[in-house]
A = this chain, B = another copy of it.
Amino acid sequence: MTTSPPRRMRADARRNYERLLTEAAAVFAERGVDASLEDVARRAGVANGTLYSHFPTRQALLEALLRSSMENLAATARELRDHPSAYEALVTWLRAAIVHTTAYRGLAAPMMRSLKDETSELYAACQAVLAGGEALLSRAHAAGAIRADATPEDLYALVNAVAWAGEQTSPEQGERLLTFSLDGLRPT
């Protein structure tokens, strides 16, 4: 029933929880976030009911899987506040966010939809990403490096759209789209 990081779980439960996460990472990496959950359970060597009891929804599983990399992303944002160039700091972070979103095929869509959906298990994580970008954006705004009407939500959408385009075609195509958009985000 729990989705939180293992708290006072029974030893077997904890073992299965970890094993499920490990195998889910592998399966999602191979087949994307829409991969069969039966497959995940099979590979983890447990019955599917066990998977559902640990992770009631696919998003809950995804959330647990992404937690640490999300935290890394937030930490990176914090570090970049000290970067000499406000603009470069922002761009570097945006690229990191895109890499994060490219971890599993099909991840961009839930990331995008969960930003405004409070009922989503990914909601908090998405908001954290938004906040990370927000800090760097306002610094870039202050430095006059980014057009004034660009919002954090714009950047969030951009990151996901670029990640999506990249996974549908090629990372290079995503990169090209990013280049154009970033140029369009310079002050007029």
Contact = CB atoms under 8 A, between A and B. Distances in A.
Interface string A10-37: 0000000000000000000000000000
A157 B165 contact: yes
Interface stretch (A1-9, A52-60, A82-90, A173-181): A173-181
Interface string A158-188: 1011101100110001001101111111001
A103 interface: no
A118 interface: no
Interface in A102-130: 109, 112-113, 115-116
A180 B184 contact: yes
* Closest 5 pairs (CB-CB, A-B): A184-B184, A183-B184, A180-B184, A112-B168, A161-B161
A168 B160 contact: yes
A185 B176 CA distance: 11
A180 to B, nearest CB: 4
A107 to B, nearest CB: 12
A164 B116 CA distance: 16
9 contacts: A112-B165, A112-B169, A113-B168, A150-B180, A161-B165, A180-B181, A180-B185, A181-B181, A183-B184
Contacts of A79: none
Given A181-B181, A183-B184, A184-B185, A154 B168 contact: no
A153 interface: yes
A180 B168 contact: no
